[in-house]
C-alpha cells in the first residue's frame, strides 16, 4: 500500500469522525483507559473514538517521518476501532486497503 492510498483513507476516516463531533483524545488524558484496567471492550465508545482520532494523527506523523511500518500498524488499529464502532463497513476497509 503506498502512502497516497493511506493518506486518502486517513483523511476520509478523520473527516467522518470530525463530522460526528469526535476529536483526538489528548495523549496525556489516560483516565479513559486506566479506569477500565486494560479491558478495551469496557471503555466507553466516545473514548475509543477519541483515541482513534489520536491514532490517525500519529499515522500522519509517522508517514511524514518515513516510518511506514509503524504507520501501517497503527492504521490497521484505527480501522479496527472504526469498524467495531460502526464508522465504516468491511467493504469500505477493503477499498481503502488497495
- Residue 92 pLDDT: 79
Q: Where are the domains of the chain?
A: 3-96
pTM of the model: 0.81
Angle of CA points 27, 33, 35, to nearest 5°? 130
- Tell me which residue has cell 504507520: 71
- Give tens-digit pLDDT for 12-56: 889 999 999 988 876 545 566 666 666 666 778 888 888 889 899
Q: Residue 78's closest CA among 96, 62, 54? A: 54
Cα–chain center distance at 7: 12
**Does residue 74 surpass a pLDDT of 70?**
yes
- Residue 42 pLDDT: 74
**DSSP labels for 63-97?**
HHTT-HHHHHHHHHHHHHHHHHTTSS-HHHHHHHT
Q: What cell does 30 get?
A: 489516560
Mean pLDDT score of the chain: 83
Amino acid at each position: 500500500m503506498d502512502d497516497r492510498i493511506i493518506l486518502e483513507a486517513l483523511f476520509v476516516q478523520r473527516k467522518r469522525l470530525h463530522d460526528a463531533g469526535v476529536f483526538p483524545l489528548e495523549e496525556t488524558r489516560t483516565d479513559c483507559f486506566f479506569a477500565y484496567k486494560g479491558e478495551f471492550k469496557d471503555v466507553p465508545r466516545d473514548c475509543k473514538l477519541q483515541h482513534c482520532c489520536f491514532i490517525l494523527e500519529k499515522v500522519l506523523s509517522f508517514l511524514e517521518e518515513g516510518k511506514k511500518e509503524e504507520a501501517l500498524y497503527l492504521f490497521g488499529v484505527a480501522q479496527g476501532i472504526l469498524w467495531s464502532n460502526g464508522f465504516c463497513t468491511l467493504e469500505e476497509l477493503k477499498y481503502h486497503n488497495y
